[in-house]
Amino acid sequence: EVQLVQSGAEVKKPGESLKISCKGSGYGFTNYWIGWVRQMPGKGLEWMGIVYPGHSDISYSPSFQGQVTISADKSVSTAYLQWSSLKASDTAVYYCARAYDGKTPEFDLWGQGTLVTVSS
Amino acid sequence: DIQMTQSPSSLSASVGDRVTITCRASQTISRYLNWYQQKPGKAPKLLIYAASSLRSGVPSRFSSSGSGTDFTLTINSLQPEDFATYYCQQAYSSPTTFGQGTRLEIK
């Protein structure tokens, strides 16, 4: 089955670090880009950035540049999104999504989402 | 960044109705426009890509048109499973951006 499976929900305190994952299966993981999309509670979709696991080419939205780190490990068909110091405003559901073209992305396959809650 | 504006923000309709959602870009995006459907607690699902291409498996009651700055998504003969939130997305330039969403509710 072609799918993206994300890591489970996280509850963290402000200032803590976090790395969430997105594992692809059933397709050529290195042939597609993986993007990350944030959805804050009750809000819309925001594109954070995208990585090409084939050669780890990465592009960030200016809104998220410097706030998060995107990476991928093609040996385990997994993309990652990480924070070094979480803030309460990072509370959201984070989705990974697949795109064939990183420059004109159509996200045709989505993970189930990872809920990140940051609270003291 | 290219701003995407959808209207209306919410819409009430009945099963069997025909509804139209519009999406306007702040600058021309050619036909680099995609539509997604999202149901509560679920990930978005790609419905239409490149402004008017229906994704395989998506019912033919969904259609879309437009180019440049103005686009429309039409759903003919609404079915109970169509009540959801719909987002447009421009893929013309980075950063890709989404509209704010249109919530389609049952009247």
pLDDT per position as a tens digit, B59-105: 999 999 999 999 999 999 999 999 999 999 999 999 999 999 999 99
pLDDT above 90: residue A6: yes
Q: How many helices (H) and strands (E) does chain A have?
A: 0, 11
B35: closest CA of chain A, how far (Å): 9
Which residue in the set A45, A97, A106 is minimally distant from B49, CB to CB?
Answer: A106
Confidence band of A27 (pLDDT split at 50, 70, 90)? very high
3 state SS of A82 = strand
The predicted pLDDT at position A56 comes to: 80
Which residue in the set B1, B43, B100 is minimally distant from A113, CB to CB?
Answer: B43
A54: closest CA of chain B, how far (Å): 20
Q: Do B100 and A44 touch (CB under 8 A)?
A: yes
Instruction: Give one DSSP letter per residue of B37-104, joined into a string.
Output: EE-TTS--EEEEETTTEEPTTS-TTEEEEEETTEEEEEESS--GGG-SEEEEEE-SSSSPEE---EEE
Gap between the terminal Cα atoms of chain A: 39
pLDDT > 90: what percent of chain B? Answer: 98
CB B48 within 8 A of CB B34: yes
pLDDT above 90: residue A14: yes
A67: closest CA of chain B, how far (Å): 16
Q: Which residues of B touch A107 (CB under 8 A)?
A: 34, 36, 44, 46, 89
pLDDT > 90: what percent of chain A? Answer: 95
A42-70 average pLDDT score: 96
**Which residues fall within 8 angstroms of residue A98, CB to CB, at 6 or more apart?**
A4, A24, A27, A32, A33, A34, A35, A107, A108, A109, A110
A25-29 average pLDDT score: 97
Which residue in the set B46, B96, B100 is minimally distant from A108, CB to CB?
Answer: B46
Q: Do A106 and B50 touch (CB under 8 A)?
A: yes
Chain centre distance of CA B71: 9
A93-103 average pLDDT score: 95
A17-24 average pLDDT score: 98
Q: Is B48 exposed, middle or buried (0-12, 13-18, 19+ CB in 10 A)?
A: buried
CB B88 within 8 A of CB B33: yes
Strand A3-6 versus strand A18-25 pairing type = antiparallel
Q: Which of A38, A45, A94 would you mutate first to test chain B, the one with the most B CBs within 10 A?
A: A45
A82-99 average pLDDT score: 98
Q: Cα separation of B100 and A118, whole Å?
A: 24
Tokens describing residue A55: 């050669």
